[in-house]
Chains A and B, each alone.
Chain A
């Protein structure tokens, strides 16, 4: 085990050293300063609005976190989205698997390595939650978070082992893990029963807050409350308000953690099969590149049974767009686009017989999904330079200018994303039309719909240019490839990077928004048309800013060298 400890420790240390060495470059040094200031202002700066963040530690949030935890774990049981939680790097497979190590040592190694992400994110959340205005010291909160994230990590590995054993050994695998399967199935059924019992309250709830309050009420009654009990135990220390409360709650939470550790170590019979399968899956996706876990695109590309036509002549950059569209079509990423529209319609339709205004629900859901897609879409869809920087030598040998490559890559993600958001806007428009409580006049709705294509294309383009810019300017500091880190244990880092992107977008929007305001003021007598014109003016300005950024990134791409992505 000391060799494995050595591997984890030296790998982590060398990674940090190699990241810090980059600071010798002025570009990375400037980024580090900005990053430190950002982290300081977001996490460390003395809190001035403790009340605003104290909601994070309230009872509803505790219930919400518990429910989200169960939903996430159910996802990994049902869909196996975390199968790659077991993945080893090709080097680890070829060196560690033939080495004289027991399975338990390998499982221990995997858990040990995951602790780096767990600890970093526990610390991030300690800073976020320290503004909660409670008397609990930060170190105790850190221990609570560590227990929570470690349990989640163990559970994901355990469920991946059970699923793999079941898949590999069919009936025998299922029998071997029957108690795990029965327990988790019982939990799932109990939660479904709880939600079914509280369906009237859920459907009658107004707004997101109302929905979660109704959900919390529905799950606070048997049998759901019994099913959620172990999860409550794990979550409770993080939300403790005093040292005494924490002291009472930490031991049961540690008990659940230890039970998970026992379960995972007992489930290791299928470990090699599962780990090799997961590792092969990861290696296949990234081939010679470094491999990471993925939100979307965890499945292998579908066979090339059908294609999209591409003429041999014309603008060369179109070939990049075409390539990325095929990627989108052949990976699971399409579900990200189609899912929200389908969900908006289903949610609306399901309220039709409960007396609620179905049109209003559909419109609200459609617009919410459109907004979520704008903010989160870039993390889910990565068929752009964040993926293709791994092919930097190939791209750089092609006869295309750097800015054209950047434009084509950004468009590959931005255009499909804008298309589905536009579809959601159209659904909202139609739904609001049939709703009895449409909040906006028909003219304003029409103006919004008319301006939406321009606004959506440029907003997505700008946000994705920011994200692609990070890949071009700081390839050594970010994860390249079709994947992003997932799991609650990396949520802290993900939230920080998402907020940073939104801050840059907000800065880019200052001039366009001012121009939009000016346009509306000047065209005040023509209320609805003024809105459409203002959206278009803002979109044009944001588009111009984005194009300027792309030209700059094109230059940086031309100067980028393959070693920088190493």
Chain B
């Protein structure tokens, strides 16, 4: 992402954000409410067009080659968007066709098992709990083995077991070469998984790099918890 800016009328949601994520890296996007995290992720996923700047996924520019760029990514929002009248299994078949997953037949049972949805494979979203719907959205995102994985609050709605499995899944995807961007308010998750941090406030980057690099730039924060670092960074930026 290069110099991304997003305006809504006169309001600047994101201003001049630049970052990159290599295969295997996990970028944590953190910031207070209304900082522009979801807007940034939506621009990254091609859901909204930037007012200026550019986004490229797996070498494909989102503006010039949107289909190729989108084929390489998966976006998992905090609120699962599911179709009321497609069962769990049919959601995966739908995604398989959209992304051309030729071996979907063999991958689907594994994925359903991994996310504990096997017993619910014929259930419609209305018959699933909030957590299960979230798991289904995650399964849809993982089916085509994306090169870039974009997650907005990935642990929302999951039970403790589900959270642990989700953390493992994210780590495993990164280890297998996917570039992962996740937005979360759960700083322990960010600390555990992320190789880089992007701290935003009011749409602007206030810190970017590994936690070591960020602390190196602010020596007074050395030895403090990530929560303290986060609060100091976002508080400072507000000018308070």
Residues of A near any B CB (own CB < 8 A): 24, 284-285, 287-288, 300-301, 303-305, 307, 310-314, 316, 318-319, 322-323, 326-327, 330-331, 391-394, 396-401, 558-559, 561-563
Contacts and interface: CB of A to CB of B under 8 A. Distances in A.
Contacts of B97: 310-314, 316, 318-319, 322
17 contacts: A24-B9, A284-B84, A287-B84, A301-B85, A301-B124, A301-B126, A304-B90, A304-B123, A310-B93, A322-B97, A323-B86, A323-B94, A326-B85, A327-B84, A330-B85, A401-B66, A563-B8
A399 B126 contact: no
B67 A401 contact: yes
B93 A312 contact: yes
A330 B84 CA distance: 10
Interface string B25-49: 0000000000000000010011111
B98 A319 contact: yes
Nearest to A305: B122
Contact of A562 (B46, B47, B125): B47
A313 B70 contact: no
Contacts of B75: 393, 397
Interface of B: 8-9, 42, 45-49, 66-68, 70-71, 73, 75, 77, 79, 81-87, 89-90, 93-94, 96-105, 122-126
Contact of A316 (B68, B98, B124, B126): B98
Contacts of A318: 97
Kindly list the 8 A-B residue pairs having the minimum CB-CB distance in the complex, ordered from nearest: A304-B87, A319-B97, A399-B71, A399-B70, A301-B85, A394-B81, A312-B96, A312-B104
A73 B77 CA distance: 43
Contacts of A316: 97-100
Contacts, number: 106
Contacts of B126: 284, 300-301
A238 to B, nearest CB: 40
Given A304-B123, A316-B98, A561-B48, 13 more contacts: A284-B126, A300-B126, A303-B122, A313-B100, A316-B100, A319-B94, A326-B85, A327-B83, A393-B42, A393-B75, A393-B77, A394-B81, A399-B66
Contacts of A311: 97
A423 B104 CA distance: 37
Given A303-B124, A318-B97, A327-B85, A313 B45 contact: no
A564 to B, nearest CB: 10
Interface centre among A307, A318, A331 (most CB of B within 10 A): A307
B49 A312 contact: no
B62 to A, nearest CB: 11
A301 B86 CA distance: 9
Contacts of A303: 122, 124
B119 to A, nearest CB: 14
A312 B102 contact: yes
A323 to B, nearest CB: 6
A394 B122 CA distance: 22
Contacts of A322: 94, 97
B122 A304 contact: yes
Contacts of A401: 66-67
Nearest to A285: B84
A400 B98 contact: yes
B67 A399 contact: yes
Contacts of A330: 85
Contacts of B67: 399-401
Contacts of B66: 399, 401, 558
A391 B81 contact: yes
A285 B123 CA distance: 15
Contacts of A399: 66-68, 70-71, 98-99
Contact of B42 (A312, A327, A331, A562): A562
A386 B14 CA distance: 30
Given A310-B93, A393-B42, A393-B77, A398 B98 contact: yes
B63 to A, nearest CB: 10
Contact of B46 (A327, A391, A397): A397
A461 B79 CA distance: 33
Contacts of B70: 397-399
Interface centre among B82, B103, B126 (most CB of A within 10 A): B126
B151 to A, nearest CB: 13
Contact of A559 (B9, B49, B81): B49
A287 B85 CA distance: 12
B10 to A, nearest CB: 11
A522 B70 CA distance: 51
A314 B101 CA distance: 10
A287 B128 CA distance: 12
A399 B99 CA distance: 7
A566 to B, nearest CB: 11
Contacts of A285: 84
Nearest to B91: A323
Nearest to B76: A397
A394 B75 CA distance: 8
A312 B86 CA distance: 16
B65 to A, nearest CB: 10
A413 to B, nearest CB: 15
Contact of A310 (B46, B94, B103, B125): B94
B48 A562 contact: yes
A397 B152 CA distance: 14
Nearest to A24: B9
A312 B83 contact: no
A318 B86 CA distance: 15
Nearest to B137: A394
Contacts of B89: 304
A329 to B, nearest CB: 8
A397 B90 contact: no
Contacts of B122: 303-305
Given A304-B123, A326-B85, A396 B47 contact: yes
A408 to B, nearest CB: 11
Contacts of A310: 93-94, 97
A559 B96 CA distance: 25
A326 B81 contact: no
Contacts of B94: 310, 319, 322-323
Interface centre among A327, A392, A394 (most CB of B within 10 A): A394
